[in-house]
Amino acid sequence: MPPAPLTTFCDGCPLMICSVHGCAEERLRDMGLREGARVEVVQNSDKLIVRLAGCRIGLRRDMAADILATPVEL
């Protein structure tokens, strides 16, 4: 499956981040949301909560749309 924005995945979906763009890409990488990182969408509504290893990160929908990811097996 080609990479798609994080906002297109449903809750509980394990993913691998393929690319990070947008105005806050460096901050996202600092927080661990970088190319190759494995994440899981915990909540996909007006904002997103993703699980990265043992922590949860909340971010705006427009920022999440700039992160492209593909589903992976856990």
Partner 1 sequence: MRVALCGNPNVGKTTLFNQLTGLRQRVANFPGVTVERKAGTLAGAPHVEVIDLPGTYSLTPRSVDERIAYEVLVGRLEEGPDVVVCVLDAGNLERNLYVVSQVIDLGLPVILALNMMDVAEENGLVVDASVLEKDLGVPVVPITASRGEGIDELKKHILDPPEPAQVYRWQLMDAVDAKIPALIKQLAEEAPHVKPMHLRMEVLRALAEDEALDVWRLEVPEFVNRIVTLREEFAKRGIAWRHAEVSGRYAWIGPIAQRASRRFKGPATLSDRIDAVLTHRVAGPLCFLLILVCVFEAVFSWAIPAMDLIEAGVAALAGGVRLVLPAGWITDLLTDGIITGVGNVVVFLPQILLLFFFLGIMEDSGYMTRSAFIMDRLMKRVGLSGGSVLPLLSSYACAIPGIMAARTLDSERDRLITIMVAPLMSCSARLPVYTLFIAAFIPAGKLMGVFGYQGLAMFSMYMMGTIMAFVAAAILKRVVFKGPPSYFVMELPPYRRPRLRQLFWRMYQRSRVFAVRAGKIILGCSIVLWFLASFPRTETSPEAIQIEEQAIQERNIEYAAAQALTPDRDLTVAADSLSLVDPILAYALDLTAQADVKYAAALDSANIVRQSAQIRGSAIGYLGRILEPVMQPLGFDWKISAGLVSAFAAREVIISTLGIIYSVGDAEGGVALRDALKADQYPDGRPVVTPLVAMSLLVFFVFALQCMSTLAIARRETNTWRWPMVMWFYMTTLAYLASLLVYQGGRLLGFS
Which stretches of the chain bind partner 1, using CB under 8 A? 22-37, 42-43, 45-47, 49, 52-60, 63, 74
State the minimum distance, in angstroms, from the CB of residue 25 to partner 1: 8
**Do 44 and 50 contact (CB within 8 A), yes or no?**
no
63, containing H or E segment: helix 61-64
Of 35 and 71, nearer to partner 1 (C-beta) is 35
State the minimum distance, in angstroms, from the CB of residue 36 to partner 1: 7
Of 23 and 70, nearer to partner 1 (C-beta) is 23
Handedness of CA 9, 19, 54, 50 (dihedral sign): negative
State the pairing for strand pair 14-20/67-71: antiparallel
State the minimum distance, in angstroms, from the CB of residue 34 to partner 1: 6
